[in-house]
């Protein structure tokens, strides 16, 4: 999936965050002036801006830019969309797969736009539950299909590396609107994504 690279960093934000990262490194007991760490505050400041760029992007605009009139009215599924996000409680990554389905109601959307909607919401401080709802509502409210379904399966670093240290647990969240609220439609979707 082609993505525009994120090269334009806000210099003021980069400088402010850089200064704070330098202090955090010192507070954690490191020598912020040793060679390997010299440029780390700036790199980390840029990485964090990249990972939270979703605040400055509009998922509705992305979907509306590629909606097409079409009479196809069977289920459309995009599964195994890669997900990388940051848990808002620990600012640690959670990552996994997103499965999306919708049943058109006069319009279809360019398939590459669905992973972009995922990225826009994922590149913010998140909880998996809200991320699921936001993706679901955005597609459902913008495309106005007969139904929308979203399933997210993710592993959370804050569980794996700290806290309960459950290294093989995954968290599954799901949301359904319209036709997918009917058990048989929902089951067909879950079967097609292998659940
Ligand atoms: Zn967490």
Please return the burial class of 81, using the count of CB atoms within 10 Å of its CB with bins 0-12, 13-18 and 19+. buried
Ligand 1 mean position, distance from CA 46 (Å): 22
Q: What is the pLDDT of residues 3-31, one digit of tens each?
A: 455 667 899 999 999 999 999 999 999 99
Q: Are 146 and 179 in contact (CB under 8 A)?
A: yes
Q: Using a CB cutoff of 5 Å, list residues around ligand 1, an ion.
A: 87, 89-90, 158
Torsion of CA 37, 41, 43, 48, to 10 degrees: 140
Identify the pLDDT of residue 3. 44
Q: Are 50 and 7 in contact (CB under 8 A)?
A: no
Residue 70 — left, alpha, or beta (φ > 0 → left; ψ -120 to 50 → alpha)? beta
Identify the pLDDT of residue 163. 73
CA distance 11 to 116: 26
Residues serving a catalytic function are 87-90, 128, 156, 158
- Tell me the pTM: 0.93
């Amino acid at each position: 999936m082609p993505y525009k690279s994120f090269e334009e960093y806000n210099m003021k934000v980069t400088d402010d965050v850089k200064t704070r990262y330098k202090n955090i490194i010192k507070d954690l007991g490191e020598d912020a002036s040793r060679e390997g760490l010299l440029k780390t505050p700036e790199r980390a400041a840029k990485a964090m801006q990249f990972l939270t760029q979703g605040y400055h992007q509009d998922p509705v605009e992305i979907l509306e830019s590629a909606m097409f009139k079409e009479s196809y009215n069977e289920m459309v599924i995009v599964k195994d969309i890669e997900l990388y996000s940051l848990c808002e409680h620990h600012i640690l990554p959670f990552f996994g797969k997103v499965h999306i389905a919708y049943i058109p109601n006069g319009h279809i959307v360019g398939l590459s736009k669905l992973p972009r909607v995922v990225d826009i919401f994922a590149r913010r401080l998140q909880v998996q539950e809200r991320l699921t709802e936001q993706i679901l509502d955005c597609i459902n409210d913008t495309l106005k299909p007969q139904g929308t379904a979203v399933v997210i399966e993710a592993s959370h670093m804050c569980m794996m590396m700290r806290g309960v240290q459950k290294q093989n647990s995954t968290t599954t969240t799901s949301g359904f609107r319209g036709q997918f609220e009917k058990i048989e439609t929902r089951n067909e979707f879950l079967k097609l994504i292998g659940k």
